[in-house]
Chains A and B, each alone.
Chain A
Amino acid sequence: MSSQLAALALVLIGTVALTVYGMGLRRKKPRGGGLAPAFGGLANEVGRVAEEGATIHVALGSGGLLDENGLTSIAALQGLSALTELSAAYETPPSITTGDPTLFLIADNQLRDAYARLGNLRNYKSGLVRYTAPSPMLYAAMAATLCFDEPVGTTIILGAFDQEASLLTSAAVTKGEKLFGGATSAVGLATLYSDIGEDQLVVGEKMFAGGAEVTGRSAFLASLSAEDLLRWLVVAGILVAACASLAGLGG
Chain B
Amino acid sequence: MFRWFIPTAIAVVCGFLVLLGYLLPVPILASIRVDLVRWATVLGAFALLLAYGSVLRVHLPRIFQKQSRHRVASSLLIGSAVVSLLLVLTQGPGGALVQAIVKSVLIPGESALLALTAVTLVLSGMRLLRTRRHINSAVFIAVTALYLFIAVPIAFPRVLEVILQFVDAAATGGMRGLLLGVVLGIVMTGLRIILGIDRPHSGG
Interface assignment of B65: CB less than 8 Å from any CB of chain A: no
**A226 and B127 within 8 A (CB):** no
Q: Which residues of B contact A126 (CB under 8 A)?
A: 54, 57
**B127 and A194 within 8 A (CB):** yes
Knowing A18-B188, A194-B140, A197-B132, say if A234 contacts B121 (CB, 8 Å).
no
Q: How far is the CB of B143 from chain A (nearest CB, A)?
A: 9
Interface string of A204-242 (1 = CB under 8 A from B): 110111010000000110011011001100100000000
| Interchain CA distance A167-B118 in the complex, whole Å | 10
**A163 and B190 within 8 A (CB):** no
Counting chain A CB atoms within 10 Å of each CB, the highest count among B41, B57, B121 belongs to B121
Knowing A11-B19, A223-B192, say if A104 contacts B51 (CB, 8 Å).
yes
Choose among B57, B109, B182, B197 the residue that contacts A127 (Cβ–Cβ < 8 A).
Answer: B57
Interface of A is mostly: helix
Interface assignment of B128: CB less than 8 Å from any CB of chain A: yes
Number of A-B contacts (CB under 8 A): 182
Q: Which residues of A contact B185 (CB under 8 A)?
A: 71, 75, 184, 205, 207-209, 227
Q: How far is the CB of A74 from chain B (nearest CB, A)?
A: 5
Interface assignment of A137: CB less than 8 Å from any CB of chain B: yes
Interface assignment of A78: CB less than 8 Å from any CB of chain B: yes
Interface bin, chain B: 35 or more
Choose among A78, A204, A211 the residue that contacts B181 (Cβ–Cβ < 8 A).
Answer: A204
**B127 and A131 within 8 A (CB):** no
**B54 and A131 within 8 A (CB):** yes
Q: Which residues of A contact B144 (CB under 8 A)?
A: 190
| Interchain CA distance A198-B140 in the complex, whole Å | 13
Interface assignment of A243: CB less than 8 Å from any CB of chain B: no
| Interchain CA distance A105-B178 in the complex, whole Å | 29
Q: How far is the CB of B85 from chain A (nearest CB, A)?
A: 14
**A230 and B186 within 8 A (CB):** no
**A101 and B140 within 8 A (CB):** no
| Interchain CA distance A214-B193 in the complex, whole Å | 18
Choose among A14, A141, A149 the residue that contacts B191 (Cβ–Cβ < 8 A).
Answer: A14
Smallest CB-CB separation from A107: which chain B residue?
B200
Interface assignment of A91: CB less than 8 Å from any CB of chain B: no
Interface assignment of A123: CB less than 8 Å from any CB of chain B: no
Interface of B is mostly: helix
Interface string of A3-15 (1 = CB under 8 A from B): 0100110110011
Interface assignment of B195: CB less than 8 Å from any CB of chain A: yes
Smallest CB-CB separation from A18: which chain B residue?
B191
The A-contacting residues of B in range 150-204, CB under 8 angstroms, are: 174-175, 178, 180-182, 184-193, 195, 197-198, 200-203
Interface assignment of B82: CB less than 8 Å from any CB of chain A: no
The A-contacting residues of B in range 45-73, CB under 8 angstroms, are: 47-48, 50-52, 54-55, 57-58, 69-70
Q: Which residues of B contact A7 (CB under 8 A)?
A: 22-23
**B200 and A137 within 8 A (CB):** no
Smallest CB-CB separation from A74: which chain B residue?
B200
Q: Which residues of A contact B116 (CB under 8 A)?
A: 167
Q: Which residues of B contact A194 (CB under 8 A)?
A: 121, 124-125, 127-128, 140
Q: Which residues of B contact A167 (CB under 8 A)?
A: 113, 116-117, 120
Interface string of B29-52 (1 = CB under 8 A from A): 000000000001100100110111
**A-B contacts, 17 listed (Cβ < 8 Å):** A4-B24, A14-B188, A14-B191, A66-B40, A71-B190, A72-B182, A102-B47, A104-B50, A104-B54, A105-B50, A109-B201, A129-B54, A131-B52, A163-B117, A163-B121, A186-B174, A205-B185
4 closest cross-chain pairs (CB), A and B: A208-B185, A205-B181, A113-B203, A101-B51
